[in-house]
Amino acid sequence: MMKSLFLAVALLFAVALPASAEEMVVSGYPVGEFAVKGNVDLQVRKLVTRLRALGKGKLAISVVGSADKTGKSDANDQLAEKRAVQVANVLKSEFPEAEVANWSVGDANNVRQVRVGFKFTALALPVQVQAPKRSPLMRFVGACLMCFGAALGFIFYIKKRAAKAKALAAAVETKHLVINGYKVAVELRGDGFWYSPFTGGSGQTIRRRELKDMENSIKGCLTKESFRSQVEALKRIGRITVVSKTA
């Protein structure tokens, strides 16, 4: 019974390790090429090896394709999308349990490459420690103290999580902007910035201090060819809704 109680306490203290986020760039595409072969294939295989070395855990991958300004913008956007899709397909086949998303930024960055960002979260395994040999009374007292400490820690953790969630919920304001026939939700967060559902060329969420500036930014995203794939993806998941057939 004491051994089971000791194991239960050890399991209670098993916590998630901090998530690690990294990024790698696959470059060296010839003009007009999108296939994963040659030097590009070597870089992708190196990336696969790096991801496998992370071990078991939750893996989220973003794949962003880019093209240079050679040729027309529409064709460049399609080429960048194909590059992202090709790399994403390799990663999906190698890591079927991972969350893989891909999109194109066209020729906005004027580079022939695919940028792969990944976030990995592993779980710490509980460490089994043999209890020192003590008298039955001392073992009982020690087990009681451990359970009491674990209960206090758990209560403190729950209260802290609840307070943090309440503070975050109070700090966010959501507005629905109707722009070019689309209804787009933007959020005012605790840092005082408005956040849009679009990401820029650097892969970061687009944000603006003033709501008017955010409206102008979203209007550009809805009209620029380089953001077309993001618009379609956001429509599919309900982040953007069509309110007019003239959009």
Domains (range + CATH), the chain: 20-121 (3.30.1330.60), 171-242 (no CATH)
Span 93-130, pLDDT tens digits: 999 999 999 999 999 999 999 999 999 887 666 666 66
48-57, 85-94, 165-174, range with the lowest pLDDT: 165-174
Residue 234 — φ and ψ, nearest 5°? -70, -30
Q: Which of 38, 88, 44, 47 is nearest to 65 (CA)?
A: 88
CB count, 10 Å around CB of 120? 19
Paired sense of beta strands 99-104 and 173-179, if any: unpaired
Mark out the alpha helices in 97-210 (DSSP H runs): 136-171
Instruction: Name the strands in the sheet holding 99-104, side by side, starting at the edge strand that comes first in the sequence.
Output: 20-27, 113-121, 58-66, 99-104
Span 63-77, pLDDT tens digits: 999 999 998 999 999
Question: How much is the pTM?
Answer: 0.45
Cα(125)–Cα(61) distance, integer angstroms: 24
Average pLDDT across the chain, whole number: 84
Query: What is the arithmetic mean of pLDDT over 35-43?
Result: 94
pLDDT above 80 for 78: yes
Query: What is the arithmetic mean of pLDDT over 205-234?
Result: 92
Residue 19 is predicted with a pLDDT of 54
Q: Which of 25, 83, 22, 90 is nearest to 53 (CA)?
A: 22
